[in-house]
Chains A and B, each alone.
Chain A
Amino acid sequence: MTTQVLLAGFGGQGVLFAGKFLAYKGLFEGKQVSWLPSYGPEMRGGTANCSVILSDEPIGSPIVSNPDVLIAMNLPSLDKYESAVVPGGVILADSTLIERKVTRDDVTAFYVPATKMAKDIDAPTLANMILIGKFLREVGAVGYDNLEETLKKVISARHRDLLAINRGAIDAGYNFV
């Protein structure tokens, strides 16, 4: 079983952080994982994306060009990558920032108003983790457990006070229907 995930959005939306969370979650579950960011000028304000592969077998290429799961955090990302998703794949879209629907009918789309929900729980920068929560429920490539343990790995020691609010964002996304 291999799940190829592409996370895409604006620089600053936490695309790389969310990808890192998935990678660490996979590592804790004994999976093979890889995490590959886009790097360079687009990291600041432009589009950022991140390839994460979770697998039970050794991973060949770490580059995800046809994702099983696309997490799209803005319209340019959905426009760019919608057609790349494999048939039968999943698209998770932040419907606060993406007004249109997915046009394909051979993928499963979930619309989560993640940016609005993040504001509602007083965590305006954590739309990324709300989408991760939805990922954990709908995709299930990694489990909805040991979340604190994983968050401790991806949140640096000096920001440890943000652990609870990250956990809250994941829960909000997981419980969103």
Chain B
Amino acid sequence: MSEKVLMKGNEAIAESAIRAGCLHYFGYPITPQTELAAYMAKRMPKIGGVFLQAESEIAAINMVYGVAATGKRVMTSSSSPGVSLKQEGISYIAGSDLPALIINVQRGGPGLGGIQPSQSDYFQATKGGGHGDYHLIVLAPDSVQEMADLTALCFDLADQYRMPAMLLADGTLGQMMEPVLLPEPSTSTVEKPWAVTGTQCKRPHNIVNSLYLKPEVLEKTNFDRFARYKQIEENEVKYESFMMEDAEYCVVAFGIAARVSKNAVIAARKEGIKVGMIRPITLWPFPKKPLREAAERVKGFLSVELSMGQMIEDVRLATDCRRPVKLCNRAGGMIVSPEEVLASIKSLGGDKS
């Protein structure tokens, strides 16, 4: 499997999930992630897996909940309005401490919005989304290769920490084709003694549940869960640092916005502006430490987003507002151009250097 193939991002996610041992897929079609479901529909029956087009997104996520309780790798995928519908189920999965993968190939919103790419579900993905105190592990690919690689990583992290993970992509990454080296089949062997698999009269029943009527018991589940979250924040942060060594200004962008921003950073460097970029790969846990360190050296930050400015709040929190953080953004399915990012970089004061 050492040959690179050209694949759409949506298809790369699907193939990578299958190689990660995911044999159960439940979904409901929506643009711009439909190729993912179509790929699963074609492949799953041939490999003894399950592809099921549910009657709704709500049904699909609850099917995911059911399979997750058995300890099998399971996923669903959708785009923004569909992911909103799944939030109740995601909260239940988080409250039951189950691993599962949710894919969001984002499109513009709010409401039914449009079908063009967006990053405006950042808040929903990283701050909970459903009710109650919980987090998802949220990974943000910026290439078709990462669509594949991070899908596999999502499954591993979800299993390791017993929690749902989300791959947060967008319509561009879902639709575009790039060469991709598909990951080897997973050899992950996480023990799942909690799984509901039948006792065969040899052990006590395992019960999967998110209902705790005694507040002191429910509080303890929350405390325990957040102790695990702390470990994740310490151990699983991922980011890319680009031309930051001598940078006086720092662009912060993820996903497709980071791809566009990279062009702008390179163009700015050619004009003698010392600018670099920090690209969060994990949106939760957010790369606070590298941003905090950057704040000691740079004069200002630029958050580049396809939203009205959501991640910018985390940039400000991570840096304790010690340096100005400006926003460069488009919304509603429009994509920021390298020229717009370059102009924003210059507005930070970089054109004087």
Contact = CB atoms under 8 A, between A and B. Distances in A.
12 contacts: A23-B177, A24-B6, A32-B179, A36-B175, A36-B176, A39-B31, A39-B115, A39-B171, A60-B338, A63-B260, A63-B337, A65-B337
B172 interface: yes
Given A24-B6, A39-B32, A40-B31, A60 B177 contact: no
Secondary structure class of chain A's binding surface, majority of residues? mixed
B178 A33 contact: yes
A97 interface: no
Contact of B262 (A32, A35, A61, A153): A61
A27 interface: yes
Interface of A: 20, 23-24, 27, 32-37, 39-40, 59-63, 65, 153
Interface in B43-67: none
Contact of A63 (B32, B172, B262): B172
Contacts of A60: 259-260, 262-263, 266, 338
Given A20-B177, A60-B266, A153-B6, 7 more contacts: A24-B6, A27-B4, A36-B172, A39-B31, A61-B259, A62-B178, A63-B260
A81 B295 CA distance: 42
A62 B172 contact: yes
In the A-B complex, the 6 residue pairs with the closest CB atoms: A60-B263, A35-B177, A60-B262, A61-B260, A36-B176, A61-B263
Contacts of A24: 6
Contacts of A20: 6, 177
User: Which of A20, A37, A40, A60 gathers the greatest number of chain B CB atoms within 10 Å?
Assistant: A60
A40 B30 CA distance: 11
Given A39-B115, A60-B259, A60-B262, A33 B6 contact: yes
Contacts of A62: 172, 176, 178, 259
B116 interface: yes
B338 A61 contact: yes
Secondary structure class of chain B's binding surface, majority of residues? mixed
Interface in B106-137: 115-116
A36 B337 CA distance: 15
User: Which of A23, A27, A34, A61 gathers the greatest number of chain B CB atoms within 10 Å?
Assistant: A61
A37 B177 CA distance: 9
Contacts of A65: 337
Contacts of A23: 6, 177
Nearest to B258: A60
A136 to B, nearest CB: 19
A35 B263 CA distance: 17
A40 B177 contact: no
A32 B179 CA distance: 8
A98 to B, nearest CB: 27
B260 A39 contact: no
A95 to B, nearest CB: 29
Contacts of B167: none
A34 to B, nearest CB: 5
Contact of A40 (B6, B115, B172, B338): B115
Nearest to B263: A60
Contacts of A27: 4, 6, 179
B335 interface: yes
